[in-house]
Amino acid sequence: MGDSRIAPTGPSNNDALKVVILAGPAKRQKKVLLITPPYHCGVLESAGVWLPLPFVYLAGALRWAGYGPVIYDAMSRFDDYEAIGRRIEEEKPDVVCSTAYTATVTDAIEVLRLAKKINPEVVTVLGGIHPTFCWEEILTEDADAVGFVVRGEGEVTLPELLDAAFGGGDLSKVKGIAYLEGGRPVVTAQRPFIGNLDSLGLAWDLVDWPLYTFRTKDNSVLAVTQSSRGCTQGCTFCSQQLFWERTWRARSPENFIEELEFLRDRFGVDVAMITDEVPTLDRERWERILDLMIERKVGVELLMETRVDDILRDEAIMEKYRRAGVVHIYVGVESASQETLDRWGKNIEVEESRRAIELINGADIISETSFVLGMPEETPESIARAVELAKHYNPDMAFFLAIAPWPYSEIYPEVKEHVATLDYRKYNLVEPVIKPVAMRVEELSDALLRCFRDFYIGKFARLDDLSPFKREYMLKVAKLLAEHSYLKEQMKGMGEMPAEVKALLEKVDSRQ
């Protein structure tokens, strides 16, 4: 298996951070090339360059099992298929894995198809949210590319699958996979969720750190981290509560903080995005994390998402959020209509969202929210109401997104007859997928872009009302929207803006 070891950092106890390090194999290992799909829609890349955290977890598990993982983030590198092909030829992997949500699944499959073209004997594996639910469709339509699908969490499943594949084991005994047998897709028993998240090791040394930065912080090194897994909510349009079966598990506060300290000291990380759906679900645990951030002077800025009701619950400790290093919080408002919120199972009141954003703003933390638009009953008037509500809520940042009805979501049967395209690449929350009864798809797309225009004209006109921290932050946001996002052309045509913002955008334009 080679000389692998678990190296704890920080205090030596059961909660110590575990980092999997390979000291050198005794014999040639099977090489596993983990490749992100080369997909771009102008959303994720607007604020920063984000490392593929699932691969860091998978690489740690593969190392511990005796395999030789390589992380290749083709997405962040903006590599095309020609470059990806060259990398596959150079690495000569025994296994190629990719991961996908709905918008990226087409490109992830193409990556595996390319690997098979280069080496027909290579083992190909696809995981992620979309394959977890749509494994039968994938194996039926793309069996030439996808050898196996990993369903659910992969840290235990993937090594077991490869052990069976290379060792002649019984694949039917490997829980959590799907594959072809006799030309027909078959699925094995579901694998239980991993109980102790602190036990998982991460191969952080395989990350190409110079790639990853948060663009609103100059010369930053950005990590993507996870303090918990799961979602207990019931939002009918969301994939997360389905993937996690409305369960939630968490790492210990000590384990999570030690990871941040390790990333800071070893790789110079100064900003970390917490990817959890609800990191604050357990109030006692979350406050312990904040206290440790303050007491140990971790000094890593935190970007996070949480729920409106958790912010309302934490009103008395919002100043502690800020002292702990939380600088940016996203909460999902989703709709200006209480009826729609109830229909989507959001379990919040419209005015509660306004109060949550007010609390975030009061703590001098950047507030961000989103409105999901484009249901069959959408009209220009209902979209206009969403913009006015966004202005009333007064978040620092607002995004107006086109609902993407995942084919496995609870809401899909309700909207199926209104779905305008089956091209999964468009299921990215930017391009409309549903055609409203009273609007053409092109009209909806134009209306969504106007929402951004109307909201940010007002926001940038009031920069002087913001704190110095927020004012500087929002000036950088203007630059990012103009330079890196799918809103680039809209930002250029925003009409009358404050002279300082206009000068900033003109400076951006001059470098293009």
What is the DSSP pairing of strand 228-230 with strand 248-250?
antiparallel
Q: Is residue 363 within a helix (H) or strand (E), and if so which, with residue range?
A: none
Indicate if 236 and 171 belong to the same structural domain: no
Torsion 329-335-338-339 (CA) sign: negative
380 in any annotated domain:
no
398 in any annotated domain:
no
Total of domains in the chain: 2
360 in Cβ contact with 367 (< 8 Å): yes
Distance separating alpha carbons of residues 431 and 444, to the nearest angstrom: 9
156 in any annotated domain:
yes
Indicate if 85 and 145 belong to the same structural domain: yes
- Chain center to CA of 498: 33
502 in any annotated domain:
no
400 in any annotated domain:
no
Question: Which range of residues forms the domain containing residue 78?
Answer: 4-187
Distance separating alpha carbons of residues 485 and 505, to the nearest angstrom: 13
What's the distance, Cα to Cα, between the start and end of the chain in Å?
51
176 in Cβ contact with 131 (< 8 Å): no
Indicate if 16 and 100 belong to the same structural domain: yes
Of 412, 417, 445, 420, the closest CA to residue 431 belongs to 445
β-bridge partners, 368: 330, 397
Q: Per-residue pLDDT for the chain (512 aa), expressed as one digit of tens each?
A: 332 222 333 333 334 466 655 444 434 689 999 999 999 886 667 788 999 999 999 999 999 999 999 999 999 999 999 999 999 999 999 999 999 999 999 999 999 999 999 999 999 999 999 999 999 999 999 999 999 999 999 999 999 999 999 999 999 999 999 999 999 999 999 999 999 999 999 999 999 999 999 988 999 999 999 999 988 776 666 667 677 677 889 999 999 999 999 999 999 999 999 999 899 999 999 999 999 999 999 999 999 999 999 999 999 999 999 999 999 999 977 665 666 655 555 566 667 888 999 999 999 999 999 888 999 999 999 999 888 888 888 999 998 989 888 888 888 888 999 999 999 999 998 899 999 999 999 999 999 988 988 898 888 888 889 999 999 999 888 777 777 666 655 555 544 555 655 565 554 444 43
What is the reported pLDDT for 7?
31
What is the reported pLDDT for 475?
86
Indicate if 175 and 90 belong to the same structural domain: yes
Indicate if 37 and 160 belong to the same structural domain: yes
Indicate if 223 and 181 belong to the same structural domain: no
Phi-psi region of 384 (alpha: psi -120 to 50; beta: other; left: phi over 0): alpha
Residue 394 identity: N
Indicate if 300 and 223 belong to the same structural domain: yes
Of 88, 156, 83, the closest CA to residue 124 belongs to 88
465 CB-contact burial (10 Å; exposed 0-12 / middle 13-18 / buried 19+)? exposed
- Residues with Cβ within 8 Å of 182's Cβ and at least 6 positions away in sequence, in order, are none
Alpha-carbon distances of 320 from 228, 277, 278, 375, 408, rounded to whole Å: 20, 20, 18, 39, 39
Distance separating alpha carbons of residues 497 and 512, to the nearest angstrom: 21
269 in any annotated domain:
yes
372 in any annotated domain:
no
Of 38, 155, 156, the closest CA to residue 88 belongs to 38
Indicate if 223 and 325 belong to the same structural domain: yes
What is the reported pLDDT for 24?
41
Alpha-carbon distances of 28 from 1, 3, 67, 94, rounded to whole Å: 9, 12, 9, 11
Of 449, 458, 445, 509, the closest CA to residue 482 belongs to 509
What is the reported pLDDT for 44?
65
171 in Cβ contact with 177 (< 8 Å): yes
Length, in residues, of the chain: 512
Indicate if 180 and 270 belong to the same structural domain: no
Distance separating alpha carbons of residues 400 and 386, to the nearest angstrom: 9
Using alpha carbons only, give the angle 147, 150, 155 rounded to the nearest 5 degrees: 130
Distance separating alpha carbons of residues 64 and 75, to the nearest angstrom: 26
91 in any annotated domain:
yes
What is the reported pLDDT for 293?
98
Q: Which of 265, 299, 331 is the last residue of a domain?
A: 331
What is the reported pLDDT for 510?
45
What's the pTM?
Answer: 0.88
Which pairs with CB-CB distance under 8 Å and at least 24 residues apart come from 220-223?
Answer: 220/270, 220/271, 221/267, 221/268, 221/269, 221/270, 221/271, 222/48, 222/49, 222/50, 222/51, 222/269, 222/271, 222/272, 222/273, 223/51, 223/260, 223/263, 223/267, 223/269, 223/271, 223/272, 223/273, 223/300
Using alpha carbons only, give the angle 240, 243, 245 rounded to the nearest 5 degrees: 100
User: What CATH number did the domain enclosing 278 receive?
Assistant: 3.30.750.210
What is the DSSP pairing of strand 95-99 with strand 123-127?
parallel
Indicate if 181 and 108 belong to the same structural domain: yes
β-bridge partners, 367: 329
Q: Which of 315, 331, 347 is the last residue of a domain?
A: 331
Alpha-carbon distances of 4 from 66, 166, 200, rounded to whole Å: 8, 20, 14
Distance separating alpha carbons of residues 172 and 187, to the nearest angstrom: 8
Q: Which of 269, 302, 331 is the last residue of a domain?
A: 331
User: What CATH number did the domain enclosing 177 receive?
Assistant: 3.40.50.2300
Helix, coil or strand: residue 126 = strand
Of 148, 128, 140, the closest CA to residue 54 belongs to 128
Indicate if 49 and 86 belong to the same structural domain: yes
What is the DSSP pairing of strand 222-225 with strand 271-274?
parallel
Residue 230 identity: G
Strand spans (E) along 67-175: 68-72, 95-99, 123-127, 148-150
Indicate if 179 and 233 belong to the same structural domain: no
